[in-house]
Amino acid sequence: MAQVRAAGLNLAAIPFPLVARLSFMSIPTAVAMFAAMSYYGDFLKAQSPNFYDPSHYEEFDFIVGYPAIAKYFFWRVEEMPTPLEPIPSMAVYLQRLASTDYQYRTTPQNNSCLAMDEQRSLWPRGKGLGGTSNLNFMIYQRGNPRDYDELADITGDEEWRYQNLLQFFKKSEDYHGNYGNDKYHGSTGPLYVGKLKTTYLADKFVEAAKELGYPERDLNSEQSAGFSQLDATLKDGRRWSTYEAFIRPIEPYRSNLVIYRYATVIKVHLDRRKSAYGVTYVRHGMQKFVRARREVIISAGAVDSPKLLLLSGIGPRSQLHDLGLPCRANLPVGQNLQDHVTTLVGPFTMRAKGLLIDRDLNLNALNAYMRNGEGPMSSLAGVSAVGFITSALSKDPKWPDIGYFMSDSGVHRSLADDFTRILGMKEGVLQKYYGPHVGSDANFVLVMLGKPKSVGELRLRSRSPWDKPLIDPKYFSHPDDIKTMKHAVKFIVGLYEQTKTYRELGAKLASNPFPGCEQVAFKSDAYFECYIRHLTMTIYHPSGTCAMGKRRNDTVAVVDSQLRVLKTRGLRVADTSVLRFITNANLNAPAILVGEKAAFLVRRHWALQFVVCSKINYYLLLNEERLCFYTQRV
């Protein structure tokens, strides 16, 4: 680069369309190429006579669906991360690609998602080791302490109280974020949490909120109403996925860890005592069985974990019978689906330089990223600040129920097309709405309903493991949700149009009405409701589909507080599906917390068993270790 500059070339003048745009066009091709290489590499590795012998099976102590629980494991997952995934600005381009995204869609929504194609919401879920952390936006938020205290209250298990979980948040963390405080943050864990190296207008957002009485604070300590700059799972401008943090460093050295890539589990097997003894999976076209000596731990996420339980005969009896599946355990699997419904408010145009891709993504940007992991390419789609406020409908004034994520990425030329693609919108809607503002510096704010009261459901579409499930989040089915969202949207418009900080920058919400809401008085209550019901989005946080609860007399519970699937043995679930109440924030940190907690529970259980068993074995059973393991299931 230095030579290029010396040769008199102005890198900043070489514009986006010429360099980055070309490569963006070919992102799907590049991703598909990496995916194919990785697939065939793994296919060749799998070749052995045993692989083609249907009667051959392997045996492991634990069969696990996903990371964090790093001990003796067999594994699944589809693809290897591609080299593009670590680059933050690539995040939006990883959705809707067959090799990185499961590409789920909800059923058509009632009176919401009106601007979306068929009134459906797209639900991307990440493939590959690292799962959805391979394509998420890397925002690190733990949620509110009361989100976890609720779990302790409902299960009667004090271990789920935030104060007792804090050690697990800290254990996973290597914190280098905006607000160091040893009481809340760890520095020796594998998960790097850092701050953004390049921000544009994040400080203005925090400053304006202060004018309205909202302090700047570390929202990852004792979350209460306030605003802050972003902490992110990002190291030197590189995505720090759960694979990067928890698996990659140990994979080559753990002789007791076996990872099978490209293996899709299609059934968990229960014996006559309803004890899980293995799984069937499909890998490179071969259907194989693998036996678990101790436990099967499912960690396929809030969509696929319930799907797998249902396919295995664990779920609502009538639903399973309708599909001709025998019911082995009648449990409300898939019934407590919760998601953070969201809308995107903006553009708030202003006279302040934010990130404008057409202008700022040039060879200089590439240079800055390659050298120091900074600049526009390290940006999380411009998201750089976050805030939480409490509405009048919240259970507790110290328990915010609305979240904001501010992006200072302005209206670039392809914005409407990009959003139309990743959100699955009707063609022309965003083109019409954003069209007059193309080329403007602006902010957008994702407004999130942090504690939604609407509850949806997930069901099997058919008995085939290859069919996508029916997902119905039932957005705004509870009347409080739309009221809270309207309040949330009006607050943020006020923040931009009434605070001194933003008035000085001439900030103003786009003055053309959202297509479909032209008939309603602009900025009236009815207008904002219309806006929200049209631009209804997910912020991609499905949860609660295998809800945690009491072992008895609990009509919502699927797992207990030890994450054990009720009415079965030797089977746990460990992912966001166990969160009975959605946490008031993004779900990556809570997912990792569940993983850490599950690892602790598994270790504690088997350490105790091991001591007791080894004594019994030694003195009574002539060292028949297996007998002991088989009889001591969780």
Ligand X SMILES: Cc1cc2nc3c(=O)[nH]c(=O)nc-3n(C[C@H](O)[C@H](O)[C@H](O)COP(=O)(O)OP(=O)(O)OC[C@H]3O[C@@H](n4cnc5c(N)ncnc54)[C@H](O)[C@@H]3O)c2cc1C
Q: Which is nearer to ligand X, 176 or 267 (CB)?
A: 267
By rule CB under 6 A, what string of x and - marks binding of each residue 243-282 to ligand X?
---------------------xx-----------------
The two structure tokens encoding residue 601: 């529970």
The two structure tokens encoding residue 335: 């019934």
Which of 73, 76, 166, 245 binds ligand X (CB under 6 A)? It is 76
Smallest gap from residue 211 Cβ to ligand X (A): 27
Smallest gap from residue 231 Cβ to ligand X (A): 10
Q: Which is nearer to ligand X, 378 or 501 (CB)?
A: 378
Are the beta carbons of 147 and 583 closer than 8 angstroms? yes
**Whether 541 is catalytic:** yes
The Cα–Cα gap between 493 and 346 comes to 9
* CA-wise closest residue to 328 among 311, 345, 344: 311
The two structure tokens encoding residue 307: 């799907």
Interaction between residue 193 and ligand X (CB under 6 A): no
The Cα–Cα gap between 151 and 336 comes to 14
Interaction between residue 90 and ligand X (CB under 6 A): no
Q: Which is nearer to ligand X, 299 or 536 (CB)?
A: 299
Interaction between residue 541 and ligand X (CB under 6 A): yes
Q: Which is nearer to ligand X, 579 or 628 (CB)?
A: 579
Q: Was 132 annotated as part of a binding site?
A: yes
Tracing tokens 């965003």 back to the chain, one arrives at 430
Question: Which of these is catalytic: 185, 487, 541, 605?
Answer: 541
Smallest gap from residue 382 Cβ to ligand X (A): 13
Beta bridge partners of 314: 329
Name which of residues 307 to 336 contact ligand X (CB under 6 A). 308
The Cα–Cα gap between 182 and 240 comes to 21
Q: Was 343 annotated as part of a binding site?
A: no
Name which of residues 117 to 136 contact ligand X (CB under 6 A). 124-127, 131-133, 135-136
Are the beta carbons of 288 and 280 closer than 8 angstroms? yes
Smallest gap from residue 593 Cβ to ligand X (A): 11
Name which of residues 580 to 599 contact ligand X (CB under 6 A). 586-589, 591
Stretch in the footprint of ligand X (CB under 6 A) among 28-36, 73-81, 169-177, 364-372: 73-81
Interaction between residue 340 and ligand X (CB under 6 A): no
* CA-wise closest residue to 542 among 417, 455, 421: 455
Smallest gap from residue 396 Cβ to ligand X (A): 23
> Per DSSP, which regions of 21-108 are E strands?
58-64, 104-105
Smallest gap from residue 545 Cβ to ligand X (A): 10
Dihedral angle, C-alpha 373, 377, 382, 387, nearest 10 °? -20
Interaction between residue 301 and ligand X (CB under 6 A): yes
The Cα–Cα gap between 205 and 446 comes to 13
CA angle 136–137–143, rounded 5-degree value: 95
The two structure tokens encoding residue 529: 């409701």
Residues 6+ apart with CB under 8 A from 358: 15, 16, 17, 412, 413, 439
DSSP secondary structure letter of residue 88: G
Residue nearest ligand X by beta-carbon distance:
131
Question: Could you tell me which residues are annotated as the binding site?
Answer: 132, 265
Contact positions toward ligand X, by CB under 6 A? 65-66, 76-78, 95, 124-127, 131-133, 135-139, 141, 264-265, 299-302, 304, 308, 540-541, 575-576, 586-589, 591
Question: Could you tell me which residues are annotated as the binding site for FAD?
Answer: 132, 265
Residues belonging to the active site: 541
